[in-house]
Structures are given as C-alpha cells and as structure tokens.
Structure 1
Amino acid sequence: MSLVAIGACYVDTILTTPHYPGEDEKLRASSISRRRGGNCPNTLEVLQQLTADLSLDLVAILPAKSSSASRQIQSAFEPHISLAHCIYREELSEPASSYIIKSQSSGSRTIVNYNELPEMTVAEFTNIADYLDPKTSWFHFEGRIPDVTLSCICYLRRQYPSVKISVELEKPGRPGLQELAEEADVVFYSKSWAQGNGYQTAEECIQKQSVIARKASLLCCTWGQNGAVALETKSKSMIHSPAYSAVDFKVVDTIGAGDTFIAGMLYAWLCQGDKWNLSQKLGFANRIAGMKVSQEGFAGLKRALESFNSQ
C-alpha cells in the first residue's frame, strides 16, 4: 500500500516572542527557528516514523529543482518519503513560506503566508495519478484550492473506483470544502472549520456531517483541549477521546498538532485495521498529537507508539 499526500510544502520561519507585538511596536524575539512545514509534509514526516509498511509519496509544488530551497526539502525527506512526483516550477526559486510568531504569554501563534508558486492543475495531477497506479494507493488531500481538488477526486472516482480518499477540512472561510467531504472515504474536520460552519461541539459536527458526507466510512473532528470525536459510519459507533495529558505536561509547540493527529489516525486505520477498535485508534491519534504539542518539532514521535503498545 502506498499513501500519496497532496498539499503545499512550506518553509517555516518561527519567531518566539514574549507577547504579540502591537502596531508599530519594536519587540525582541527570544528565539528563531526554520524548518520545513505544510500540512501534508508534516503528516508524512510523522508517518515515516511509525511504519515502514507504507510507501509514502508527496505531491507538492516546489520551486526550481536546482534551487537551494528544493534541495533542502529533498534532503529533509528522502529516502523515506518520495518527492519523485512533486511538480517543480523551474522559473521560480522562492518556496512557499510561512512566518510564524509564537506568543509565550498566550501560547498561541499567528501565521503569515507567502506563496508565488502557481498551484497544481488538474491535468498535472491526472498525469501523476495514472503513473502512480492508484489501485494500490490511498490519496490524502489537504483541503486546498477546492475546485481543483474536487476535480482531482472525481477523476480518481471515475478512473479508479476502488481507490480510497481522505480529505482535511481546516480553513473555515474557504468555500468548496463541504463538497470535498461529500466525495471522501475519510474526512478530518478541524475545530476552526466546525465553528466557522456553526457547530458548537465536535459531536454536533460529526453527527450532522454524517448525513451530508454519505460516502465516508470515517469522520473525525478535533477540538483542542477537549480531545477529538470519531464516527465509523457503518457501525454508527461514535467515540470521544480526551486530549492526551501526562505528569508535568506542558504545551510547548502547537504548530502541526492537527497534522500529527491525522498521521496517527491514518496509521491506525491503514496499518492496524481491525486489530485496533475505534477507541484505540482515536486514543493513539490523540496521544501522538499531545506528545507533539509538548515538544518542538516532530522528531522522536515514534515513542508515542511504543508507549501506547506498552499500556
């Protein structure tokens, strides 16, 4: 089985500050770090720590293959994650970038994005999909450029009816995400998307979405400190799992927590299957997301699986 993740790949610059700067305020950051970012790249980075049984492919738009940014991204991923099917914009040298301010006083972060790379076209995706042999692949889409993504999903449905598809719905103000949910086998809803669409709780989101996303076999909604809810539509089994906590637990870095949760659920769904029930799958996804929140970056998260198995 191969998992193909389709989404943007960013280079993140993260400034940690005592508080958010006010307008026209001069503020000294306590630290700076740079790392590769993006929802799907983050998910793949975590997945490659958990299993060698999945072949992992990233489909993303990158600047010129010879650019320093693309070389850095390649060295960060390969050989465990294949970038062979990334699309390179040879006329450009700057990657998609995020500039993130992390406030120590509030624990939250503000993100400013910059991206001049032209987005993937449907034709570019179909060429890649045919080459990848979708009959043996699971496709995970970041909810990005919904009209193009929907056309890509519909192409897979027409050409390869047995293919499995998951989608992430994150940005509440992005029109067209609901239509993606209606075509997917697995849907991941963020708290911000759910609240932006009028849902007061994760349970309400999942219950009402189960009537709309009729093709889905699994629906998941994360809700920050209140944990997450998942529904297997065939059995109508809805489970709530509390957020992970431990002795001396402290929030350090929330960037990528949702991406890590998705990695945990995809691992549980694809690699553990019927060996884990829904409660175990959701509990593991919460555990690995919680462990990520308690540290900087994504390194060393395999320990979540080791500690989960030793319970």
Structure 2
Amino acid sequence: MTHLVAVGACYLDTVLTVESYPAEDEKLRASSLVRRRGGNCPNTVEVLQQLLDLSKPPGAITLALFTILPSRSSAGSQQIKSSLEPAINLTHCLHREEVGEPASSYIIKSRSTGSRTIVNFNDLPEMTASEFSTMADELGDKASLYHFEATGQGRIPETTLECMRHLRRRFPSVRISVEVEKPGRAGLQELAAEADVVFYSKTWAQSNGYLAPEECLRAQASLTPKAYDLAPSPVNWRRAQGLWLTLLTGEHRVVDTIGAGDTFIAGMLYGLTCHGSDWALSRKLDFATELAGRKVRQEGFSGLGALVRHSVQH
C-alpha cells in the first residue's frame, strides 16, 4: 500500500459573505455565515480522497496528513478529526497540549466581486525538522510522495528545506512536491530547487517579475534541476481568464473560490500518482483545471469527485 503524505497547516474557517467589502469603521450585515475545516493541505487531501475512492483498484493509495493540532481534548481537534477521519490518516499529527485553540481563518467573501479577504490566527508552535524526521522515519518506505505547503505549518522555509533533505538522504526514491505560493517570502526558490514537482502561484510568479506562465517555467527549469513537472496553477493564471469569463457570462457563476487552488493541486496529484504514465501532462492539467472549475461553482468540496467520475475512471 502506497502513502501520500501532505504536510501543512490545518485551520478552522469562519466564512462571512457580504454584498461588498466594508469601508473602515463601517458596520455591515453579513448574508451568511459558514464554519468549516480549512487549510491548503487538508483541502487538497479531502478532494484527492474523493478521486481515489472512484479509482481502481480502490485503496491502492492511502492519504495521510501531518499537521500541528491543539490539545487532544480540545473542541477544535475533535472537529478537525471528525471532518477527515477515517478516510485520511491523522495518527501522525502532533498535538500541542498546552494550546487549546486551533489555527483559525476569518474570511470575508464579497458577492459583488467574487473575491475574498483572509485573516489568519495561529498560536500553535511550528513544526520542527526533528519532529518531521521522526514521523518520516516511522512511515519509512511506506510513503511514496510527500506534498509540502510552504506557507503553512513548516512554513519556515529553512525548516521545510531540512525536511526535504532528510527525505532525500533517508528515502531517495520518495517523490517530493511543493506549493510555492506567498510572494516575498525568502527561501521558496530553494524549496522549488529541491522538489520533483512544483506548483507556482500567480502572485509569487508575478512578484518575481514573470509576466506569463511560459516565461516563469522557462526560467524556473534552469533553477530546479530535480523537478520533472513544473505547474503554474491554471486556476490562478492564463487558463483562469477563460474560466472566469465562462463562469461569469455563461450559465454558471462563481460561488466559492476558497480552496480552488487546493483543488487544482489535488487534481494534479491524482494525475501524477494514478495516471503517471497513461496521461500526458496536458491531460493532467486539463483534468485539474476542470476539477477546480467545478469547485468554484459550489460551496465547499463535497461531491467534487462524483462530478468528474467519467474522467477519473477513463
């Protein structure tokens, strides 16, 4: 049995939907309030599990999440576990028993623009390289791929780089993917150079002076000697222009963009792990883009796998 391990922060999200963003010191009534589990890696494995459930043979790939959680008895830990278990293995997660509150995101969604503003709070001590190494050594060669969220727990790039290098030393056959997202954060280029698969955000690429996906990939190819796949998320770049135009002017409209990039990564990881040889890179990109496009038309992630059942099973 093969394990894919996602390493990143897990949040509890509070989402407020408003007609338009409030001005400073303005009082505004929200039209809806939703509380749910969030976080880049948890979102990705939730969607990826739906895809794996439709694949053959079922159970050939299992998913694990390595994240930092508050005390075991806290309501936040219980809510997070109930949202992911038993489909996602959480047995290797670390609990900070001295902290009672989970990492939290407060999200304001504007109906008029379809955009959202996110304020994060996280009082949990960061993962250390030694804590990661202990977990990785326990899994041993059962894990075939590690996906790192470079902006979540382990978000100190130097720590994430130590984790990657530990895997290279101890388990040279393991594959490593990383999401390079937040602009201005030092050390992300070094993470990309250590990975086999790299996901770049539009904001990171543009902050580094790239004006188009092709320009970014051509430049990055010489800087990432270990990478065999470099993917600028189409949800956030050129293909997105056509996607948003279709959704806004056609029969569909943008409902919820939160986690669209996480969904795209889930689609790509599915293609890489389940269709590494029989799907060309272009098909993997098309599949991941379709999946993310379907996500923005609905609230949350429920049922996304069923919506692309035909693509998954063929």
TM-score normalised to structure 2 length: 0.91
Alignment match, 1:232: none
Cα offsets for 1:28-48 (capped at 9, x unmatched):
000000110000000000011
2: CA distance, partners of 1:179 / 1:242: 32
Could you say which residue in structure 2 is the equivalent of 1:32?
33
Does structure 1 residue 250 correspond to structure 2 residue 253? yes
Q: Distance in 2 between matches of 1:272 and 1:121?
A: 33
The correspondence for 1:227, drawn from 218, 239, 242, is 239
Instruction: Give the equivalent residue in structure 1 for 2:266.
Output: 263
Structure 2: stretches of 5+ with no match in the other structure: 53-58
Q: Which residues in structure 2 correspond to 1:91-110 (within 5 Å)?
A: 91-110=98-117
The answer to whether the 8 A contact 1:206-1:219 is kept is yes
What corresponds to 1:195 in structure 2?
A: 206
Alpha-carbon distance in structure 1 between the residues aligned to 2:309 and 2:142: 31
- The answer to whether the aligner puts 1:117 opposite 2:141 as a matched pair is no
1:54 is displaced (CA, Å) by: 1.5
Query: Which of 203, 215, 218 is the aligned partner of 2:229?
Result: 218
SS in 1 for 2:138: helix
1:148, distance to aligned residue in structure 2 (A):
0.3
Answering whether residue 174 of structure 2 is matched by residue 178 of structure 1, we say: no
SS at match of 1:154: helix
SS at match of 1:65: coil
Other-structure match for 1:58:
65
1:127 aligns with 2:134: yes
- Aligned Cα RMSD in Å? 1.7
SS of aligned partner of 2:60: coil
Determine whether 1:70 maps to 2:82: no
Which residue type is aligned with residue 63 of structure 1? P
1:310, distance to aligned residue in structure 2 (A): 8.3
User: Percent sequence identity over matched residues?
Assistant: 60
Contact kept in structure 2, 1:135 and 1:162, CA below 8 Å = no
Superposition misfits of 4+ residues, deviation over 6 angstroms: none
Contact 2:202 2:237 in 1 (8 A): no
Amino acid at match of 1:226: R
Aligned residue identity for 1:113: N
Residues 1:251 and 1:151: Cα distance change in structure 2 (over 3 Å): same
Query: Contact 1:135/1:163 (CA < 8 Å) preserved in 2?
Result: no
Superposition deviation, residue 53 in structure 1: 2.8
Q: Secondary structure at the match of 2:277?
A: helix
Matched, 1:300 2:303: yes
Q: Give the Cα–Cα distance (whole angstroms) in 2 for the partners of residues 85 and 105 of structure 1.
A: 42
Q: Deviations over 1:75-97 (max 9, x none)?
A: 11111001101010001110000
Q: Residue 14 of structure 1 corresponds to which residue in structure 2?
A: 15
CA distance in 2, matches of 1:167, 1:242: 26
How far apart in 2 are the matches of 1:194 and 1:19?
Answer: 28
Amino acid at match of 2:110: S
3-state DSSP of counterpart to 1:150: helix
Residues 226-264 of structure 1 show CA distances to partners (whole Å, capped at 9, x for unaligned) of 227xxxxxxxxxxxx964857512111110000000000
* Counterparts of 2:156 and 2:291, CA distance in 1: 28
Q: Which amino acid is 1:204 matched to? A: E
For residue 106 of structure 1, report the CA deviation from its aligned partner: 1.0
Q: Secondary structure at the match of 1:4?
A: strand
1:168-203 deviation per Cα after TM superposition (whole angstroms, max 9, x unaligned) = 001012111000000000000011111111110111
Pairs aligned (count)? 299
> Quick one: structure 1 residues 30 and 242, their matched pair in 2 at CA, closer, same or farther if it must change by over 3 Å?
closer
What residue in structure 1 maps to residue 157 of structure 2? 146
- For 2:81, the aligned partner's letter is Q
Matches of 1:98 and 1:271, distance apart in 2: 32
Partners of 2:192 and 2:51 lie apart in 1 by 27
Instruction: For residue 305 of structure 1, report the CA deviation from its aligned partner.
Output: 2.6
- Structure 2: distance between partners of 1:304 and 1:227: 20
Helix, strand or coil for the counterpart of 2:104? strand
**Is 1:69–1:94's contact at 8 Å kept on the other side of the alignment?**
yes
TM-score, scaled relative to structure 1:
0.92
Q: Which residue of 1 aligns with 2:56?
A: none
Matched residue, 2:55: none
Determine helix, strand or coil for the equivalent of 1:25.
coil
